[in-house]
Amino acid sequence: MEDEHILCERRDGVLLIEIRRRDKKNALTNSMYTALASALAHAAEQSAVRAVLIRGQEDLFTAGNDLEDFLQRKATDESQAMRFLRVISAFEKPVVAAVAGHAVGIGTTMLLHCDLVYAADNAKFQLPFVNLALCPEAASSLLLPRAAGHRKAAELLMLGDPFDAAKAMAAGIVNEILPADRLMDHAFAKARALADKPATALAVTKALMRRPIRAEIDEAMREEAIHFADLVASAPAKEIFAAFLEKRPVNPAKVHGEGR
């Protein structure tokens, strides 16, 4: 259940989970998702872990799904990404994230399941699902409109352009923006502050806050997954992925249909 690219360390009641796979821009593989989900599942049971901090390095969070790994999966594989998202979404202890550099796709959507998110001023977010002929995941179709309102969410999810930390903060994804060299210390101090709170009161507070949309989150993930599975097998997505792997331009006729 471990992976060399997911590093765990416990300090002062905080489980620090670091995503580190520098040569691939911290892109997440099936095996890394498994390790992330396991780390959280383990943390849930350890009373010595009172808060979790997820981070990359001070210039990089994650480029998102590893596209090659993603394309090699069989449709019948259980998606470990989905499992990780279910685990983090149901996680009862507080989760803090420290985000610097690129936070693409699931690198942004996983933040919607965190309680406190600190971003470096160099952070660059992106939700490029539509550009890949895919649809939102991780209940982002529910949680982003709730945090940001429909129009801000539509801008991020439908246009799919990169956006900076200020826009992420305005969209309710991020709590605070920091200079990159102060990010990790600041996020850890906040995680530690949470670890020092009365644990039951904190867990009850988090549960009460999630209670009103608990069922909606699960339903959104289910609905998204159905459409995601259809879209990933569709001609436009196949052409876009193939072009990416073959390092050639996309053929518009295959994306938009011949009749355009």
Which of 20/128 has CB closer to a second copy? 128
> Binding to a second copy by residue 64, rule CB under 8 A?
no
Backbone angles phi, psi at 33, to 5 degrees: -60, -45
Site for a second copy in 216-245 (CB under 8 A): 216, 219-220, 223-224, 227, 231, 234, 236-237, 240
Which of 29/228 has CB closer to a second copy? 228
Kind of pairing between the strands at 95-99 and 124-126: unpaired
Helix (H, G, I), strand (E, B) or coil at 25: coil
Which of 71/250 has CB closer to a second copy? 250
- Reference 184, options 6, 29, 14, 4; nearest CA is 14
Residue 23 beta carbon to a second copy: minimum distance, rounded to whole angstroms: 30
Site for a second copy in 100-159 (CB under 8 A): 112, 114-117, 129-136, 141-155, 157-159
Cα 50 to the chain's mean position, in Å? 21
Burial of 237 (C-beta count, 10 Å sphere; 0-12/13-18/19+): middle
Site string for a second copy, 21-40 (x = CB under 8 A): --------------------
Helix axis angle, 214-232 to 235-245, nearest 10°? 70
Residue 149 beta carbon to a second copy: minimum distance, rounded to whole angstroms: 3
Distance CA 107, CA 174 (A): 13
> Binding to a second copy by residue 260, rule CB under 8 A?
yes
Distance CA 161, CA 159 (A): 6
> Binding to a second copy by residue 75, rule CB under 8 A?
no
Residue 1 beta carbon to a second copy: minimum distance, rounded to whole angstroms: 26
